[in-house]
Structure 1
Amino acid sequence: MNSCILMAQVVQAPELRFTQDNQLPVAQMLVEFAGSRDNDPPGQLKVVGWGNLATEIQESYQVGDRLIIQGYLRMNTIDRPEGFKEKRAELTASRIYKADGNFAPMGGTARPSNVVSMESYSRPMGSPPTENYNRPASSPPMESYNRPVSSPAAPPSSEPAPIPNEDLDDIPF
């Protein structure tokens, strides 16, 4: 299985369809992303979402929206009327984020109820960040960390110290 994360802009409005048994919603939209080089034209890719994500895609996104899409790539082979086969890439989305600074994930990953937003936290002015910190009883006092560590004295040597090999590159050129 592969994994892909793509930042793109919606260029064709999402359309919602259902599987043949009318049970599972499927949404598809066309997105555009920047070329890999400055002079490359932008690339286009079809994005597909299934189930609840398909409904969210159709309801939440429109042409011009910038998105971060997480999913996997697959190749589709299409028979062309000219008599040859064409391969096209398709991104099957598992999560979609709007790229407007508010990265609330879409796609069934709700925030757990025990998570508190840090935006609601405010520390009193002038108080240090560790004001309410209690050191565990088992840790040694802080003074013991500031003591100099004694090391065995090395006997004086008349030989020069070896020069370390500065060439850290494994590939010789």
Structure 2
Amino acid sequence: MNSCVLMAEIIQEPQLRYTAENLAITEMLVQFPNSQRAEDQLVTLKVVGWGNMATEIQQNYHQGDRVLLVGRLGMHTVDRQEGFKEKRAELTVQQIQSLGNTVPSSFTPPQPSQPEVQIPSVTTPPTTPVSVAPQPSNFVPTQAAPNFERTSYPPVPEQEPDPDDIPF
């Protein structure tokens, strides 16, 4: 599946026209950086919208707007007057969303911030010393510490096998 997501700036006002079948088509040029380095050259791309998307683009988006575009990327061959053929990329828009005009050119998405956690101070209550009577060296406890582990289990009655029970 051919799907492309692009963050760009509109550099040519969207032009609305109609086909012979009265289908709306809007064309515009957008510009975006070739890489994340600010000194690199900007790339220009033709963007096309059809039908209801074409009228929405023409009515709501203008030169200078920063937008997020989702669509299909295609290559088209154009015959040049100089006698050769040129390949050009074109994005057919399926979704468009405004990013606002206040986004700096070196836009990086905001990172989610960690909420500041306030740890309450914990005070420990004062402890009272406990005195333990010394045991004589020949002391033998009279009762062993209880063992809570079960060492024997009740017998399980044997059942006859079910003839309808077929193991898989």
- TM-score between the two structures when normalised by the length of structure 2: 0.57
> SS in structure 2 opposite 1:12?
coil
Instruction: Supply the distance in 2 between the matched residues of 1:28 and 1:19 (Cα, whole angstroms).
Output: 13
> SS in structure 1 opposite 2:34?
coil
Instruction: Supply the distance in 1 between the matched residues of 2:75 and 2:83 (Cα, whole angstroms).
Output: 19
Q: CA deviation at 1:49?
A: 0.4
Q: CA deviation at 1:36?
A: 1.6
Q: CA deviation at 1:37?
A: 5.0
Which amino acid letter does the alignment assign opposite residue 78 of structure 1? V
Structure number with larger C-alpha Rg: 2
Q: CA deviation at 1:20?
A: 1.2
Instruction: Supply the distance in 1 between the matched residues of 2:3 and 2:98 (Cα, whole angstroms).
Output: 19
The runs of at least 4 consecutive aligned structure 1 residues that moved more than 3 Å come to none
Which amino acid letter does the alignment assign opposite residue 10 of structure 2? V
Between the aligned residues of both structures, percent identity stands at 55
* Structure 1 partner of 2:96: 96
Which amino acid letter does the alignment assign opposite residue 69 of structure 1? L
Summarize the alignment of residues 6-155 of structure 1 with structure 2, pairs less than 5 Å apart.
Answer: 6-22=6-22, 24-38=23-37, 39-100=39-100
Unaligned runs of 5+ in 1: 102-173
Unaligned runs of 5+ in 2: 102-168
CA RMSD of aligned residues (A): 1.4
Instruction: Supply the distance in 2 between the matched residues of 1:84 and 1:37 (Cα, whole angstroms).
Output: 33
* 1:60-117 deviation line (CA, Å, top 9, x unaligned): 011100000000100010001111100000000000000129xxxxxxxxxxxxxxxx
* 1:101-157 deviation line (CA, Å, top 9, x unaligned): 9xxxxxxxxxxxxxxxxxxxxxxxxxxxxxxxxxxxxxxxxxxxxxxxxxxxxxxxx
Instruction: Supply the distance in 2 between the matched residues of 1:37 and 1:71 (Cα, whole angstroms).
Output: 22
> SS in structure 2 opposite 1:20?
coil
* Structure 1 partner of 2:112: none
Instruction: Supply the distance in 1 between the matched residues of 2:75 and 2:44 (Cα, whole angstroms).
Output: 14
Instruction: Supply the distance in 2 between the matched residues of 1:26 and 1:100 (Cα, whole angstroms).
Output: 24
- TM-score between the two structures when normalised by the length of structure 1: 0.56
Instruction: Supply the distance in 1 between the matched residues of 2:24 and 2:11 (Cα, whole angstroms).
Output: 21
Instruction: Supply the distance in 1 between the matched residues of 2:21 and 2:2 (Cα, whole angstroms).
Output: 29
Instruction: Supply the distance in 2 between the matched residues of 1:46 and 1:63 (Cα, whole angstroms).
Output: 13
